[in-house]
Chains A and B, each alone.
Chain A
Amino acid sequence: MSGALTRAERRAGWLFSGPALLAIALFFVLPTLASLALSLTDFDIYALADIGNLRFVGLANYAALVADPLFWTALRNTLWFVVLGVPLVVAVSLFAAILVNERAVAWRPVWRVAFFAPYVATLVAAAVVWKYLLHTRYGLVNYALGGLGLPPVDWLGDPRWAIPAITLFVVWKSFGYAMLIFLAALQTVPRELDDAARIDGAGWWSRLRHVTLPAIAPAAWLVAILTVIAMFQLFAEPYVMTEGGPAQSTVTVLYLMFEEGFQWWNLGLGAAVAVVLFGCILAAALLPALTLRLFRVRRP
């Protein structure tokens, strides 16, 4: 294909993509390489005072990470957020999108605004409200549980419940955006297909399964990958809700990086965490795409 391009076309191509490539090189590739280099040193507060205190330590930071139980806790917590959060966001946002796309539903614009509002709400303010909702003794959530005859749950104080509690908050906060993606995809599903299926006697569920879902599968993949990336980068929610507690049960990988790098200024170790996180996200984002491609190649 490239053989068909003339010189002028090729030059125009570079010209058009040049600014974007330059920005990517300057603001993405360069910092990534710099943090890779930083992760091989013991850059810390002493090195800030005098660069003579900087040592090249090879892979010692990575060895320290592997030996640090907190790193494994953070990785496990992050994976919990991914495992709990991604299916929930996909399911809730798909449900919300179908609801606001349904012609039979009244007041659709109001629903759309209501579902999207959490996404644009200020995170810290929303977190403060949620902290009150989840309060052990005065919270609305435990009040509702009490109404059902269930014992109160120490949502943000019990290490076993803190991750589910924060996941609830994250899902509530972010499903509006995924809903928009689904909504856009749903509106491209041809009405005729739906009508044809209806005439053939298909019910609501089989129309959803055999007409709607196949049509919006690419959007579902997009939402899933975006949510996986967002969940891997979870930081602000635990920072505001629990400060990583109770007993470090909500410390995520990014939180660990922030603490090492910017609270204690162990920039070398912090950079090593960043590199590991980068690898994790890259794998998580590429793996589904690769499996999908393999799947497609084999099928025909």
Chain B
Amino acid sequence: MRGGLSRRKVLAAGLAGSAALALGGCARTHDAPTLWAIGNEAIVLPALLERLGLGRVEVQALPWSGAHQKLLTGYVGKALPDLAQVGNSWIAELTTLGALDPVPADLASGPDQFDAVLASNRIGGRLMAAPWYVDTRVQFYRTDLFARAGYDTPPLDWQGWKAALARICRQGTDYGVLLPLDEFEHLQTFALSSGARFLRENGTRGAFSAPAFVEALGFYKSLFDERLAPIVTGAQIANRWAEFARGWFATYPSGPWMIGEMRDRLPAAMQDAWATALNPGPDGAGAAAPGGSSFVVFAEGRRKREAWDVVRRLIAPEAQLALHRATGDLPALRPVWDAADLAQDPIVAPFARQLELARPLPKVPEWERVVSEMQIVADLMVRGEFTVRAAAAEMDRRVDEILAKRRWMLERGDTA
């Protein structure tokens, strides 16, 4: 009897306690702004916010592979946070949905920022997202493997670059370059380098059969045909840093987040054996997409003013410097580059030069899907289902279908 009574008491106390906890938890989440962040930034953001005195902001982490989808789902389900980190190429789409609150005038000041990035965040003349960090892709290469083949740095013209990879392969490295077949960015970089425009007629039709794109597509295919790049998807590579250290491939195009990863994950003995270089182009240094993340505040949010205040403090120079120290992300503000002496850092300097060579991507809401389809067809082409010309025609066909609704909307007079 006594046992039963005490057990009941314990149970009641426990229930009351957990109810109080739950209520306390609710109270906390209900008045603190919520922030969705992606990838590495989501990992370092809580500590950064704490240092800025914004510890009460609740950070939820999304993976890069699921973030775009999650934002759209959040919009449809009216479950968006107050503010979020978004990839710059998604801003046009979110603007079309009417999901975003325009950037307040005092945050939109321009002179210290990179023009290509500001231009990509400006939709219909209004700045819709505040640039946080910028990025672009360069190649991360094994200095020892290139040196053994007789190169101080990778050659920057396509033919020379390919000859170097072939030579490295002949010396016993499995592959020259890693270009995972599920990542559209690599083909996109080659296409930007050869001057492809991707879309035509005000972004309503594909322009993949244009000579510039076909040239890039042919070069991309030749890397796989000549066994200089492995036919693998990202999901198949258990650990790409381990493979890089093992010398499975000699170079891999990636972004600034890779700097921190390389320093953390490669063994100490490997730290002197890697460097960064510009992307190769048809005849000399190639182009790249101006990437990066920006902060958006959602139009439906109840704490917009507070959210913009959080943004204001997160994009301040000191905060950008702290972010760079924590992740290797490149600051969106030019003065921070000078303050951190980034242009002198041999690993970071190529990013600055590559950013100068950046070429903007088309700003259509369907862009994410367009490049996904482009890569699906490219994947099939590499596996032998299409010739280069047939693949380009197939991309045009698929992309024209994706853009059918956009054509109808533009004909009707809506500018999306």
Contact = CB atoms under 8 A, between A and B. Distances in A.
Given A45-B365, A46-B96, A265 B409 contact: no
A264 interface: yes
Contacts, number: 68
Contacts of B73: 262
Interface stretch (A4-12, A130-138, A140-148): A130-138
Contact of B380 (A45, A132, A135, A247): A247
Given A243-B182, A245-B235, A246-B233, A48 B385 contact: no
A46 B401 CA distance: 15
Interface in A64-84: 64
A241 B236 CA distance: 9
B383 A48 contact: no
B232 A45 contact: no
Contact of A157 (B93, B236, B385): B236
Contacts of B325: none
Contact of B69 (A49, A55, A246, A262): A262
A131 B414 CA distance: 47
B405 A246 contact: no
Given A247-B385, A265-B76, A44 B405 contact: yes
Nearest to A264: B369
B409 A138 contact: no
Given A45-B93, A135-B236, A247-B181, 6 more contacts: A46-B365, A48-B97, A50-B98, A131-B235, A246-B233, A247-B379
Interface in A237-261: 241-243, 245-248
A46 B416 contact: yes
Contacts of B343: none
A263 interface: yes
Nearest to B384: A247
B16 interface: no
B233 A45 contact: no
B405 A135 contact: no
B383 A245 contact: no
B96 A45 contact: yes
B409 A53 contact: yes
A156 interface: yes
Nearest to B401: A64
B114 interface: no
A157 B233 contact: yes
Interface in B351-385: 365, 369, 376, 379-380, 383, 385
Contacts of A138: 238
Nearest to A49: B97
B241 interface: no
A46 B75 CA distance: 13
Interface of B: 69, 72-73, 75-76, 93, 96-98, 181-182, 231-233, 235-236, 238, 365, 369, 376, 379-380, 383, 385, 401, 405, 408-409, 414, 416
Nearest to B75: A48
B173 to A, nearest CB: 15
A245 B380 CA distance: 10
A48 B236 contact: no
Contacts of A246: 181, 233, 236, 379, 383
Contacts of A136: 236
Contacts of B379: 245-248
Contacts of A245: 181-182, 233, 235, 379
A152 interface: no
A164 interface: no
B385 to A, nearest CB: 7
A75 B98 CA distance: 36
Q: Which 6 A-B pairs have the closest CB atoms?
A: A49-B97, A157-B236, A247-B379, A245-B233, A247-B383, A263-B69
28 contacts: A45-B72, A45-B96, A46-B409, A49-B96, A50-B98, A55-B408, A64-B401, A131-B235, A132-B238, A135-B236, A136-B236, A156-B235, A156-B236, A157-B231, A157-B232, A159-B383, A242-B235, A245-B235, A246-B181, A246-B233, A246-B236, A246-B379, A246-B383, A247-B379, A247-B380, A247-B383, A248-B376, A263-B69
A135 B239 CA distance: 12
Of A64, A246, A248, chain B has the most CB atoms within 10 Å of the CB of A246
A72 B337 CA distance: 52
A46 B409 CA distance: 9
Interface string A6-46: 00000000000000000000000000000000000010111
A267 B233 CA distance: 28
Contacts of A242: 233, 235
